[in-house]
Chain A
Amino acid sequence: MHQVDDITIDQLTKIEGDCSLNVKVVDGKAEKVEFALVESKRFYTEAMKGKPIAAIPQLLARICGTCSNAHIMADLEACESALGITPSKQTMLLRNLTMYGLNIRDHALHLYLFVLPDAYKKDSFLDFDENIPEEHNILHDAFDIKAVGNFLSILIAGRSVHAPYPTIGGFIHFPDKAGIEEAKKKLEEIRPAVLRTIELFKNIPWKFDRQASFMALVPERYGFLTGCIRTSENECIEEKDFRSHLEHVVVPYSQASAYKYAGKSYMVGSLARMNLAKDNLNERTKKTLGDTLNLFPSTNVYMNNLAQAIEILHSVDESLDILNQNEFKPEPVIKAPFRDAVGIGVIEAPRGTLYHKIVLGADGIVKEGEIIVPTGQNQINIETDIGVLVNDLLEKKTSKDEIKFEIEKLIRAYDPCISCASHFLTLNWEE
């Protein structure tokens, strides 16, 4: 008789960070899914207390390597809102370019190194064989796209991880003409590889439908830094009201926190952004992609992968527009006196809406802060979906190994970042 007992994956692989998964199976049904974030906490919200405001963005970058530049952008916004600083137009352009470099690099890393091996039934991206023409092209496209994102990040922000140039009130270093020309050339040359990536993910026939609310920051032009927070219900929430709109749900078996909005779980990330704001994509991106964009809005979780591939193209095209249409000159960092204030920063990190809050004293010392990361918001969906998936597979008498493979594949579609999710202090712990 076919019998599957509890399913445990001690260490999920090819995702950011360290976590395990337990599925309790009773009478052939998944009864409880524990997506447990077991990575050791590093207590960043506690560590920020008592530190000078100037130290906070770089400190909080260290929450997560791959999302570090997103944390810097969110925190600069929080610090500047506390200080009453309005960044210059050039600063915002450079920050947008920083986000585009990050999205190109980070999405390509996720799509090629984490997701694609599943589609080709390989254990690792490094097992692709350069002597097979198709795999040779895939290897080169992956490395070439990532390299362009990396180059753009280094040119604009100084590094693709823990970027040193962006600071409260502006930038401390500006891209030179030679670097900008080289970036433009590289961005233009990478477009065909990005289009191949989009075709590749468009043709992977994976499907997992879920009815969910979607939430994302929606600017006038598709982007990652400004706008109000839109939902599937067409609400427009101001950044400052974001926290009060979320119901904090403590997940007792986990070191991270999970969130519900208006009593329902919701999804953030590329799919949410594409579903809510595809009309605001770069004009060249829209023209190039044509009917492909009709695939959105979508309730298929796997379409998050295609949405990321499209965001790579948008990031390339927007970067080209910004670099072609602007000149960058050194300008002084805007300074402002310290004051008692609360600052909020909300941005779209590659994996979804990222919220930073700091409470500043008149002495320039941070009293406390709060951070809400995308994976914490998606966690309830991930758990619910794994339960549905496992029940479906159990009914089809699928083997345990195959179930484990399908679970990891679905989790990867959400692109969770456990490095981010595990580090937030939740003291009202349920015993």
Chain B
Amino acid sequence: MTTEPQIRKLKVAWFSFSCCEDNVIVFSELLNDHWLEWKKLIEITNARVLRTKNVMEDFDIAFIEGAIASPKHVEKLTEVRKLANKLVAVGACACTGMPSAQRNYFNVEQKANIQPLVDKFGSLPKVLKVSEVVKVDAEVPGCPMDPSDFVTKATALILARRAELAKEIGISA
């Protein structure tokens, strides 16, 4: 007797860069209603706020919140992009840079006031949105993100990826 191959659980990650981490809080509230269903389809393999042993290996979907403010951020985001099948910018800071990028718009006096700290910590001269650094496959805008928009887009991505995997192993999704 043979067992029909199963679609594996999707590997999902959540990375927070320069931001207030409001979206991961909204995400943690979505878990209240959805986790027991989602866990049948996905595993969260990297999310600093949720686990200690975080894995930097291939991800089916990587969610990115926050703007990109330092060379280290650029390096990390670039690495995530290489590992991620789909990369989703979540929330206003990731999608537009703002409000984390507010120092880009400071006047001369404000810029002079903060410059010692920008220099000391080796921050980028200008804070960037995610799409200025890597290719973005989908965006969930908002400050914070709209929970239902997130669920709709995340579900679509999960189903599309499952269909791809099903095709790879020759079964129906």
Chain A residues engaging chain B, CB cutoff 8 angstroms: 11, 13-18, 38-43, 46-47, 49-50, 59, 62-66, 68, 105, 109, 113, 123-127, 130, 139, 143-144, 146-147, 150, 159-162, 255, 408, 419, 425-427, 429
Q: Report if A427-B52 is in contact (Cβ < 8 Å); known contacts: A65-B24, A147-B32.
A: no
Q: Report if A419-B113 is in contact (Cβ < 8 Å); known contacts: A18-B48, A66-B25, A146-B32.
A: no
Pairwise interchain contact B99-A42, C-beta atoms closer than 8 A? yes
Pairwise interchain contact B20-A144, C-beta atoms closer than 8 A? no
- Minimum Cβ distance to chain A for residue B36 (Å): 6
Pairwise interchain contact A143-B35, C-beta atoms closer than 8 A? yes
Pairwise interchain contact A14-B51, C-beta atoms closer than 8 A? yes
Within 8 A of A (CB), among B1-45: 16-26, 28-29, 31-33, 35-36, 39, 44
A sample of 12 cross-chain residue pairs with beta-carbon separation below 8 angstroms, ordered by A number, consists of: A11-B48, A14-B52, A38-B121, A40-B69, A41-B121, A46-B103, A125-B50, A146-B28, A146-B29, A150-B32, A159-B144, A429-B120
Closest 9 CB pairs of A and B: A65-B22, A124-B51, A40-B69, A143-B32, A147-B32, A13-B52, A40-B18, A65-B20, A65-B25
Pairwise interchain contact A49-B99, C-beta atoms closer than 8 A? no
Pairwise interchain contact A419-B20, C-beta atoms closer than 8 A? yes
Interface size bracket, B side: 35 or more
- Minimum Cβ distance to chain A for residue B90 (Å): 12
Pairwise interchain contact A39-B18, C-beta atoms closer than 8 A? yes
B44 partner residues in chain A, CB cutoff 8 A = 124, 126
A109 partner residues in chain B, CB cutoff 8 A = 25, 28
Given contacts A62-B143, A126-B44, A162-B143, 19 further A-B contacts (CB under 8 A): A13-B51, A13-B54, A41-B123, A42-B19, A43-B102, A43-B103, A49-B110, A62-B99, A65-B19, A66-B25, A123-B52, A124-B50, A130-B36, A160-B29, A161-B25, A162-B144, A408-B52, A425-B114, A429-B120
- Minimum Cβ distance to chain B for residue A68 (Å): 6
Q: Which residue of A lies closest to B53 (CB)?
A: A123
B103 partner residues in chain A, CB cutoff 8 A = 42-43, 46-47
Pairwise interchain contact A66-B117, C-beta atoms closer than 8 A? no
The complex places the Cα of A15 from the Cα of B24 at a distance, in Å, of 12
The answer to whether the Cβ of B116 comes within 8 Å of any Cβ in the partner chain is: yes
- Minimum Cβ distance to chain A for residue B145 (Å): 10
- Minimum Cβ distance to chain B for residue A229 (Å): 26
Pairwise interchain contact B39-A126, C-beta atoms closer than 8 A? yes
Q: Which residue of A lies closest to B111 (CB)?
A: A46
The answer to whether the Cβ of B73 comes within 8 Å of any Cβ in the partner chain is: yes
Pairwise interchain contact B26-A161, C-beta atoms closer than 8 A? yes
The answer to whether the Cβ of B100 comes within 8 Å of any Cβ in the partner chain is: yes
Pairwise interchain contact B144-A65, C-beta atoms closer than 8 A? yes
The complex places the Cα of A113 from the Cα of B50 at a distance, in Å, of 7
Q: Which residue of A lies closest to B120 (CB)?
A: A429
Where chain A touches its partner, the secondary structure class is loop
- Minimum Cβ distance to chain B for residue A124 (Å): 4
Pairwise interchain contact B23-A126, C-beta atoms closer than 8 A? no
The answer to whether the Cβ of B70 comes within 8 Å of any Cβ in the partner chain is: yes
The complex places the Cα of A297 from the Cα of B33 at a distance, in Å, of 37
The complex places the Cα of A125 from the Cα of B31 at a distance, in Å, of 11
Q: Report if A18-B16 is in contact (Cβ < 8 Å); known contacts: A13-B54, A109-B28, A126-B51.
A: yes
B28, B51, B117: the one contacting A255 at CB < 8 Å is B117
The complex places the Cα of A124 from the Cα of B103 at a distance, in Å, of 35
Within 8 A of A (CB), among B106-150: 106-107, 110, 113-114, 116-117, 120-121, 123, 143-144
B69 partner residues in chain A, CB cutoff 8 A = 40
B26 partner residues in chain A, CB cutoff 8 A = 65, 161
Q: Which residue of B lies closest to A16 (CB)?
A: B21
The answer to whether the Cβ of B49 comes within 8 Å of any Cβ in the partner chain is: yes
B121 partner residues in chain A, CB cutoff 8 A = 38, 40-41, 255
The complex places the Cα of A46 from the Cα of B109 at a distance, in Å, of 10
A47, A105, A162, A419: the one contacting B106 at CB < 8 Å is A47
B19 partner residues in chain A, CB cutoff 8 A = 42, 65
The complex places the Cα of A139 from the Cα of B16 at a distance, in Å, of 25
The complex places the Cα of A419 from the Cα of B106 at a distance, in Å, of 21
A65, A146, A150: the one contacting B23 at CB < 8 Å is A65
Pairwise interchain contact A46-B144, C-beta atoms closer than 8 A? no
- Minimum Cβ distance to chain A for residue B15 (Å): 10
Q: Which residue of A lies closest to B43 (CB)?
A: A126
Pairwise interchain contact B123-A40, C-beta atoms closer than 8 A? yes
A42 partner residues in chain B, CB cutoff 8 A = 18-20, 99-100, 102-103
A425 partner residues in chain B, CB cutoff 8 A = 113-114, 117
Q: Which residue of B lies closest to A39 (CB)?
A: B18
Q: Which residue of A lies closest to B101 (CB)?
A: A42
Pairwise interchain contact A161-B144, C-beta atoms closer than 8 A? yes
B17 partner residues in chain A, CB cutoff 8 A = 40
Pairwise interchain contact B106-A64, C-beta atoms closer than 8 A? no
